[in-house]
Amino acid sequence: MIMNRVEKLQQMLSEKQLEAIIIDSPINRRYLSGFTGSAGTLLITLEQSYLLTDFRYETQAVDQAAGFQVSIYATQPFDELKSLFGKHGITRVAFEQDIVSFAQYKRYEAAFHGVELVGTSGLVEQLREIKDDQEISVIQEAATLADQTFAHILNYIKPGVRELDIALEIEMFMRANGATSTSFDTIVASGERSALPHGVASERVIGNNEFVKLDFGAYYKGYCSDITRTVFVGQPTQKHLEIYNIVLEAQLYALEHIKAGMTGLEADACCRDIITNYGYGDRFGHSTGHGIGMEIHEAPRLSRLSDTLLTPGMTVTVEPGIYLPGFGGVRIEDDIVITQTGNQILTSSPKELILL
């Protein structure tokens, strides 16, 4: 499976008349090689694949990076790379221009005399957009862990509890059940703070008769999940019920209709048009969704600016919201995978308004 990814990248290099590529992104390094160490550089030529790392990872690199030739460097990979360029007669090599700093580029430039350095953007990320069956299986496990966490945390949400304490319990539960970490800083936003789209947990104490918005995910076996549910402590007013039900209607409609062949813009409209028709379009200021995988935000985007065609194997979030400053806000989010016939929902936590 890993080497198939390398072969696809080699084909892309050949089509772009590039002789090799240096991979510095830790995420892309893991995706292509399986290596999880903190230090390492990949060199992918048209025929060979190399992992350059230091002494600390000598054994780990051989164990994890099957199909790669492992080379151990003393302090920096420059001499090893230059030697491999000479061995393969490489005179034109690509690098990840969105990853490599200017200082790193200048070091490459100084070390690789006679080699043309070509900046590229998104080659590996393009491959990562379409998940294989093994990746989807892991993302499903991460999504299931998020569902289990939501069921668990409902027992802790009540008046008098700090948002930070809820976030801590979420994170502890996920770690105790197999997660390496959280996918991102856990959002627990109650009362008027629920109107903050990215209101990470604060010292605020949860009160009566208010929304509590929970947005969290598990980073599990190298992949992310991302779920949002909004619950209510006490008795909601008609205004609370109104905005909750609008968001729910928009989200359910999108889940029913998003499919392969749609653009990101068209998928975004599935939610946005409904919320706009109810008069809250200006209170839904973010995109409907984003790709998830080895990173919590990756391609494709479900947004007004996206002309990307949705393709089977893409995993994305669907997360409409309405945010009313000084009152509160609602977001409902699920993870889905695009299929040949529509989409498969990976998160399954209940979405009717839960009263606590």
Instruction: Note whether 204 and 195 are within 8 A (CB).
Output: no
The pLDDT value recorded for residue 76 is 87
The pLDDT value recorded for residue 78 is 92
Instruction: Note whether 131 and 5 are within 8 A (CB).
Output: no
Query: Is residue 71 predicted with pLDDT exceeding 90?
Result: yes
CA distances from 343 to 24, 261, 310 (A): 33, 12, 10
For residue 211, give both structure tokens.
């929304």
The pLDDT value recorded for residue 75 is 83
Q: How far apart are CA 301 and CA 276, in angstroms?
A: 20
Q: 199 — phi, psi (to 5°)?
A: -80, 85
| Residue 128: closest CA among 96, 101, 105 | 96
Instruction: Note whether 215 and 132 are within 8 A (CB).
Output: no
**Chain segment 103-129, per-residue pLDDT in tens:** 999 999 999 989 999 999 999 999 999
- Could you tell me the fold of the domain covering 133-345? Creatine Amidinohydrolase (3.90.230)
Q: How far apart are CA 194 and CA 214, in angstroms?
A: 9
The pLDDT value recorded for residue 97 is 97
Average pLDDT, the chain: 97
Neighbouring CB atoms inside 10 A of 60's CB total 15
Instruction: Note whether 84 and 43 are within 8 A (CB).
Output: yes
**Chain segment 285-333, per-residue pLDDT in tens:** 999 999 999 999 999 999 999 999 999 999 999 999 999 999 999 999 9
Can you give the residue ranges of every domain in the chain?
2-128, 133-345
Residues 6 or more apart whose Cβ sits within 8 Å of residue 161: 205, 206
Lowest-confidence range among 15-24, 68-77, 232-241?
A: 68-77
Distinct helix (H) and strand (E) counts, the chain? 10, 19
Q: What is the 3-state secondary structure (H, E, C) of 268-280?
A: HHHHHHHHHHCCC
Is the omega angle on the peptide bond into residue 320 within 30 degrees of 0, that is, cis? no
Q: How many CA atoms lie within 13 A of 180 on its CB side?
A: 11
- Identify the three-state secondary structure at position 298: strand
For residue 266, give both structure tokens.
């068209």
Q: How far apart are CA 293 and CA 279, in angstroms?
A: 34
Pick the CATH number of 2-128 from 3.40.350.10, 1.10.3720.10, 3.40.1190.20, 3.40.50.410: 3.40.350.10
pLDDT tier at 2, thresholds 50, 70, 90: confident
Where residue 133 falls (left for φ over 0; alpha for ψ -120 to 50; beta otherwise) is: alpha
Mean pLDDT over 195-212 rounds to 98
Q: How many CA atoms lie within 13 A of 67 on its CB side?
A: 15
Query: Is residue 17 predicted with pLDDT exceeding 80?
Result: yes
CA angle 288, 291, 295 (to 5 degrees): 130
CA distances from 326 to 190, 196, 332 (A): 11, 10, 20
Query: Is residue 74 predicted with pLDDT exceeding 90?
Result: no
Q: What is the pTM of this model?
A: 0.95
Hey, CA dihedral for 238, 239, 240, 244, is it positive or negative? positive
Query: Is residue 25 predicted with pLDDT exceeding 80?
Result: yes
**Chain segment 32-64, per-residue pLDDT in tens:** 999 999 999 999 999 999 999 999 999 999 999
